[in-house]
Amino acid sequence: MNTLKNIDIPNQECDFCKELSEMGLRRISLPFIPASSHQINNVMKALRGRTGKLIDIGSGDGRITLSAARNGFQAYGVELNIWLVLWSRWTAWRSGLHKQAKFFRKDLWKTDLSKYQNVVIFGVESMMKPLEDKLDQEMLPGTHIVACRFPLPSWQPVLVCGEGIDSVWLYVVPQQYLNIDTRSKG
């Protein structure tokens, strides 16, 4: 049985996190709100027994990506805020996870998601439908998608973990969600 490893979560109210979230140097449409330990544990619970490549869209300070790396995933975080990317890389190096967890400054809308078997999304309600459309175009059957804080509007989750703001919705991409006409079978 796959057991979750303990994760070291810095204090959510740390001065560094507050400073990063208040910086005017970023062009992010989403606010940086650090994931709580409950949210991280719910994501890992939803992905229990899974392996392969995982991408954390809007990875923030890297908490989800690093936890995934600790739990056996080859984990990738994409984030627009360069300061959060640098912080995440430093944290991965300091934790000895720099080979299992990689962080990139990248726009989620320009990121090809098709090479990942697992996708984690921390979004806002207004972005979930456009993101659902992107997933519809890029995901392969069997991909596991974990939506945090807000569900995908049209897809049916196979599992819901947690309550309130800590809720996560797990989706397993079946054939009927996919826009088959736009994808090659090569």
Could you report the per-residue pLDDT of 80-115, keeping only the tens digit for each? 999 999 999 999 999 999 999 999 999 999 999 999
Across-strand partners of 171? 145
Domain ranges of the chain: 53-182
Other C-beta atoms closer than 10 Å to the C-beta of 135 total: 23
**pLDDT greater than 80 at residue 51:** yes
Query: What's the pLDDT band for 179 if we cut at 50, 70, 90?
Result: low
> For domain 53-182, which architecture applies?
3-Layer(aba) Sandwich (3.40)
Tell me the C-alpha distance between 175 and 94, whole Å: 41
Other C-beta atoms closer than 10 Å to the C-beta of 179 total: 11
**pLDDT greater than 80 at residue 13:** no
For 33, phi then psi, to 5°, come to -125, 110
**pLDDT greater than 80 at residue 12:** no
pLDDT digits (tens, 9 = 90+) for 142-163: 999 999 999 999 999 999 999 9
Residue 70 · residue 30 · CB < 8 Å: no
Per-residue confidence (pLDDT) for residue 31, from 0 to 100: 76
**pLDDT greater than 80 at residue 64:** yes
Per-residue confidence (pLDDT) for residue 177, from 0 to 100: 53
Residue 25 · residue 83 · CB < 8 Å: yes
Q: What is the mean pLDDT of the chain?
A: 84
Q: Which segments within the chain are labelled E, that is strand? A: 53-57, 74-79, 101-105, 118-122, 144-148, 159-161, 168-172
Per-residue confidence (pLDDT) for residue 174, from 0 to 100: 84
What predicted TM-score, i.e. pTM, was given to this entire model?
Answer: 0.79
